[in-house]
């Protein structure tokens, strides 16, 4: 199994586990530097500084 396939399986499992709570996505602490990478769901930051996010496939630029 390649690493990309393993990550795909891992993130699908995470997304499916968040579906047990309807309307709930994965959550993490907001990091301003990552805001432009397409990870965060717009407008989802809460009063505690957490934000909903979705995995985004990144290309290797090396």
pLDDT of residue 22: 56
Write the DSSP assignment of 44-60 as a string of letters: ---TTSEEEE-------
pLDDT in tens, 21-46: 655 677 889 888 888 878 878 777 88
Residue 9 has pLDDT above 70, yes or no: yes
pTM of the prediction?
Answer: 0.57
Q: Report phi then psi at 10, rounded to 5.
A: -60, -50
**Mean pLDDT value across residues 7-12:** 84
- Confidence band, pLDDT 50/70/90 cuts, at residue 48: very high
Percentage, residues of the chain above pLDDT 90: 3
* Gap between the Cα atoms of 11 and 14, Å rounded: 5
- Largest alpha-carbon pair distance within the chain? 40
């Amino acid at each position: 199994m390649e690493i990309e396939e393993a990550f795909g399986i891992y993130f699908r499992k995470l997304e499916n586990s968040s579906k047990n709570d309807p309307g709930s996505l994965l959550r993490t602490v907001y990091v301003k530097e990552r805001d432009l990478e397409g990870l965060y769901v717009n407008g989802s930051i809460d009063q505690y500084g957490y934000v909903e996010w979705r995995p985004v496939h990144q290309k290797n630029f090396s």
